Structure 1
């Protein structure tokens, strides 16, 4: 299976909450925006993602990676003690 890699071009928000050892960090934003033109991809084309694009996608184990690096997971949407919690 071929893997398609995309780069985030939308704004994200970085936040922290709590104090001391209870302090938590959050990254909030959109990985996909449906029915809107993308920024230029590869410098030469744009795309629109259909609302149905993920209808048959298995979202049971999604991992958010830093710079698409498999060795640098930030969060996942399944229970995991090694990374943060991802909400989709």
Structure 2
């Protein structure tokens, strides 16, 4: 077995263990919920770069949608803060030139 296959096998084994541990509740928070979409995005990018465009794009799209779903709360907070900031700037009188 060459080193690339060994590294791939170890990656699959570790991801599988993380998923099992996440299902059992041993990992703090939702680490697996964030790790799997990020891994899908990275694997999709790797696939696109190395000639496996179809499966690469599928992994990229699914991983991105999953990650955006995880980040929806943060995105909501950022939009709310941006709207408040913009509204406050609109209330300030403009300086004459």
Indicate whether the TM-score tops 0.5: no
Q: Please report the TM-score for the alignment, with normalisation by the length of structure 2.
A: 0.23
Q: Please report the TM-score for the alignment, with normalisation by the length of structure 1.
A: 0.24
Greater RCO (Cα-Cα under 8 Å, separation 6 or more): 2
